[in-house]
Each structure stands twice: as structure tokens, then as C-alpha cells.
Amino acid sequence: MSRGVTDLLYLFDRPSEPVFVPRGENNVSFDIPGSYVADRYRSNAVEILNRFGEGTIEKIPVKEVSLPSFDFAQQLGRRENFSLFIPKHRKVAGRLVEILMGMRNYEDFLSASVFCHDRVNPYLYIYCLSVAILHRPDTQNLPLPSHCEVFPDKYVDSGIFAKAREEANVVPAGSRIPIEIPRDYTASDLDEEHKVAYFREDLGVNLHHWHWHLVYPFTGPRQIVQKDRRGELLYYMHQQIQARYNFERFCNGLGRVKRWNNWRDPIPEAYFPKLDSLVASRSWPARPANAVLKDVNRPADQIQVDIQDMERWRDRIYEVIQTGAILNDKGERVPLTETGGIDLLGDIMEASILSPNPNLYGDLHNFMHVTLSYVHDPDHRYLESFSPIGDPSTTMRDPVFYRLHQYVEDVFQQHKRTLQPYTQQQLGYPDVRVTDAEIVTPNASKNVLSTFWQQSDVDMSRGLDFVPRGSVLARYTHLQHVPYVYRIKVVNQSRTLKLGTCRIYMSPKTDERGLPMPFRDQKNFMIELDKFTVSLKPGENQVERKSDESSVTIPFERTFRNLDAGRPTDVAQLEEFNFCGCGWPQHMLIPKGTKEGLRSELFVMISNYDNDKVEQNVEGRCVNAMSYCGIRNKKYPDARPMGFPFDRWPREGVETLNQFLTPNMIVKDVTIRHRDEVLKRPVDNAV
């Protein structure tokens, strides 16, 4: 990777401003050919380039290359919102990603990226540029700026921007104090759904969903869409979101999510987002309580979809599950196999470009999002754009997102019920016994997890287009847990060294009524906490693992630290520094719990590594959060079905979790205790 590759990241700085405006704290500018100046500045291009080039410390040369026409991108205006769920937008994004991926070398890629910067909608541009950077071999190790830094308007209470302007105009950059975002700014607890707003509106949770769709785009060149077990990972990542959300609901005295399966009934959940789009210069639409879905006919967006269309697609997908096979676009019958069926079903449900017959099975998941996002203006009579549920970066804020995905989850579970239950032999590991497991938390009793509220800061200045420049900090209040350690005792009764995979899950012990959960329900509430390989010598072994080593999460700093502050300048170190941005936020690993202590169950299993291993070299690869995100450009690092051993209906006679156990598993009661206090993160770890 050449020294100049990092220059590309300046294109993320104030993406709505013209590309010739100096960027970054050091006033770096792109030295562009006159022909690259957008038409609206062309009449006085020389004067503009000279004026903005004055005083810059460094100029990044951009060579002029022959480029295809970008006229197709004009279908989306520069001041419109952008959504991957809308077919027209998706098609434009796919074509732009193809062009950027097709550039022969880094210099050509930089040139194309600079050229289209001022000619393409900023939201669309940053999405396509991000996907290309993540997938091009000459840029894939670049650490992308956090999306909340680039477009803070998608993550921050709109009222904060007036305060930010005032702060910037009055206070010097080095003396500015963070602007605090109220914890309750979208609703009050008169709306019971607001009790879990801290989860839905969490910065890291929403960044995870956005970044996952960057790593796993469902449109664009086939070579970047067709990743190993992509459809299955779509199922599992969202299944875990649902399990975690239901866990949080139990912590707050709410019932489990009710699936959104009758699309003609009123929708009781309202959502008033309190977000403003800085690019589009208008507020995001709200949805009042008891809104009724209608057919969508919006010629300006090239969308026409009836509720009946979705019902037909739904019925055809259920037919696939019942018959155990799909019909591809050649009319051939393709069976849903035991190992590959869930992957195929995920490709159909989403639907990505990998869907084997989009004309027959449609675009159910995406149009569920689309119809909900236009429920306030289905025929465009009020000239309103889509609501937050129509954008992957904001969709998890809306309570109806979870009802939608509970329906999707139930479809996948219908398929899982058609598979043979795991036998004790498939679940067991001969000569391996788990004899004890415990959680050790500082200043707490054994098997007690502690959570609290914490305040952390994020620098929004990269995405704000007002002066004077300098840091503009927003202070968030979010859930956090006290770090802890797993201590697991495992006996290897053989005389040889054994390898195993340690799988750690947790679930509520009782349902929302306080009653014991039958295993067929509890298995779907299991949240994965960690998964790692262990080496077991003959005899007794003690396995220790820290909570911040989880295979599910990304480091805390990836969410809340300004990455520029600690980014190495030495290119050789840059790959080591690289964070894979896809992953569950570390601060949300453990559910909130309750003041009295929520009774939960910790499940630990050591499975047979011979049946788990995937032969591949992952040295030097980012393996953070591999459970939810896989490993970039590699096979998913676990040969078992995702969610194993809880991904299938239980064998005969298993009614409870304890009846499910084999000797290589153990269950321990744990308590999650919440302190309703707000603590600020230590200064040396803050932004």
C-alpha cells in the first residue's frame, strides 16, 4: 500500500462541500484538473481553484483520466435522501460501485472518486466510496471514518446543531466543551416502547447495522456481493439483534416483540425521530400511532408496489419452505439442503442480486421497509421523503423495525423446523466434560454482571459544514457494563491433546410473565457472547477469557474515539491499526438487567474442533466480531451452522435447557444487576 493511499480519506471530510475546498485540520486540498470542476462552478473555475488553493499546507495531485459518464447518478438529486431499500437508488448505487471497483489502479480510483464527488448525492457517494474502499485490494486496509462522524445528522438530536454553531462561533476550538445529548429526546415513558429507546437509538448499534451492509452489500459487482454463506449470515446477524432486543425488553418489563405479519392492520407503534437531514435540509418524517399501510405509488421514486404483491411473495416463500425447494429462473427445482438451504433462503428473503428467481419470489424484505417508510405519504402528494425505517443507518431506531424482523425471523425458523434435530452424538464431544463455569466481576459476587450508564464523546466536525472549524463534540449517554472474566473448568478424559471450540451464550431464565421458558422458546432468546478455540491437555483444564476479547464485538474505541487522533502515519503500521468496523459495540455486549437483578442463564459448550474447523489462513486479518461479520475475503470461520447448537428444533424429550445438555455443556445461573447512575468515561480514554 503506497504512502498516498490515506489521502483518499480526506474525501470523507465535509462531503457536501466542493472537492476543491481545503480539508482536515491541516487544510489539505485536492489539486484537480480544471475539467473536474462541477458545472455549477465552471464559469469561474480558475478563480475558484486559485482562491481555495491559497494557504493550503499540502496539495494532493489528481491526474486527469478518461471516465465513463456519471449521468445515471443524476436520477438522485444532491439534496435528496438515499436508501438502499429503494430499487432505483439501489440500481444507481450498484452501477457507481461497479465503476469505482473497475478503476485499474489506485491513482485512477482516486481520480474517479474526486471527479464524482461534486456530481453525486453525498449520501450515495459516501456509501459507494466506502463499499469500494472495503473491497478493492489496494485500499481494503484503510480504516474508514465512522459514519456518525461523516453524517452526524443520522445519529444526533437535530436540536444539537444550533448549539454546535453557536459553540463554534464563540468558543475557540481547543476550549469547546461537549454538547450533551439528552438521554430521552425522542419520547417520554408515557410511550412504553420508549423504555428501550436506549437500545434502538444507541450510536454503536446503528453503526453496526450500517457497517454490516457495507461489508455485505446486496447490489453491485457479483464478486463483492457473493461472499461465503452471505444469506445465512443475513439470517443470523438479524436473529441475534432480535434476541438481544427481546432480552432488553424483559429487562424493562415489556413483552417479547410481536411479529408484523398482518400488513392491513393499524400499526400501534409510533415513532417521532427528532432528526434533521443536513444534506436534504428538512426533517425526517414521523409516523403517528395506528398508521395504516397503503399501496405505494410514487412515480418520482419509480416505486409502485401493492400490499397484494407482498402477500404473493410471502405465500411463495412459505411454499418453498413447505416443499423444500425453490424454482430458479430457468424453471429448475433447487432443493433447500440441510447445510445450504438457509443461505439460499436468505438470498431470496433480502433479496440480493443473488436471489435465484426475483420475478417469482420478489423483494419482500426490502419492500416491507419501503412501504413502512412511506406510510405517511404513499402517493407522494405531500412531497415527503421516506422515514428512518427506510435507511439502513437509521432503521434500527424505529420500534417497528423489530416487528418487521420478527416476522422475517419466524420465516427462517419455519425452515429450521423442517431440519432433523441434533442428536446427542452430534452435540457431544467424547472424553470432554465441562465441570464448572463462572463469571468473575470486580467488586461483585460470583456470577453477577453489573451495568450502568456511561457518557462518551464523539467528534462531529468532519460532517458539519460551518466555520470556524475545529472539534465539535457530542456527549452521549449509553449503556455500559463492568468488564469481567469467564472461568471455565474442562476435563479432557483422554490421553491426548484435544482442540475444541468454546461457545458461550446467555438468555433470560424466565419469560416476560416470570414463568420458566420451554426450551423451544428459550433457544431463540440465546445471545452469543463469545466463541473461541481452546487447547485441552489431558486432565483438568481451566479456561479464562476476558469479556473485551469477545468474537462478537468491536473495541469500544471504534465507536467512540476520533480515529484520526490515534491513526499511525507509518503505512506499515496502518494494517495493524485497522479496525474492522463491522461488529456489535462492546458497550452493548451485556443487556441492561434490573436494579434487583435479572435472572439469566449462562450456557457454555466445548464442541469438537474436528467438526468446527475451516482450513484457511487468517493471519493478519481483522477477526474482531467474526461471529456476526465473518472474516473479510475468507470463509466464515466456523463450519457449523450459525447459531449452533440452538439453530434447530430440539430432539424428542427435550423440554428444558437442562434436558438439552450433554457432558460437554454446562448451564449456570447468573444475575444482571443495573445501577441507574451516569458515569463519565475517564478523560484519557475520551475523544
User: What residues are annotated to the active site?
Assistant: 350
Pairing of the two strands 296-298 and 303-305: antiparallel
C-alpha 16 chain-centroid distance: 24
Q: 238, 265, 268, 271: which is closest to 255 by C-alpha?
A: 268
DSSP letters along 16-62, please?
Answer: TS-TTS-BTTTTEEEE--GGGS-GGGGGGHHHHHHHHHTT-SEEEE-
- Compute the distance between CA of residue 479 and CA of residue 44 in angstroms, rounded to an integer: 52
Pairing of the two strands 485-492 and 432-440: antiparallel
Pairing of the two strands 598-608 and 665-680: antiparallel
DSSP letters along 155-179, please?
Answer: TS-TTHHHHHHHHHHHS-GGGPPPE
Give residues with Cβ within 8 angstroms of 412, minimum separation 6: 235, 239, 342, 345, 346, 349
Q: What is the DSSP letter of 270?
A: -
Q: 216, 220, 226: which is closest to 356 by C-alpha?
A: 226
Taking phi first (over 0 means left), then psi (-120 to 50 degrees means alpha), and beta for anything else, what does residue 657 get? alpha
Q: Residue for cell digits 409516523?
A: 287
Question: What stretches of 252-394 show up as alpha helix (H) in DSSP?
Answer: 307-323, 341-350, 358-361, 364-373
Is residue 93 classed as helix, strand or coil in its secondary structure?
Answer: helix
- Compute the distance between CA of residue 616 and CA of residue 632 in angstroms, rounded to an integer: 12
Report yes or no: 127 and 219 within 8 Å, Cβ to Cβ: no
Phi, psi angles (nearest 5°) of residue 33 = -65, 150
- Compute the distance between CA of residue 88 and CA of residue 304 in angstroms, rounded to an integer: 11
Q: Residue for cell digits 474525501?
A: 11
- The grid coordinates listed for 324 are 423444500
Q: CA dist 171 to 24, 468, 585, Å?
A: 19, 9, 32
* C-alpha count within 13 angstroms, C-beta hemisphere, residue 256: 19
Q: CA dist 232 to 90, 235, 384, 395, Å?
A: 22, 5, 35, 21
Phi, psi angles (nearest 5°) of residue 594 = -135, 165
Instruction: Reduce the secondary structure of 599-654 to three states and give it as a string.
Output: EEEEEEEEEEHHHHCCCCCCCCCCCCCHHHHCCCCCCCCCCCCCCCCCCCCCCCCC
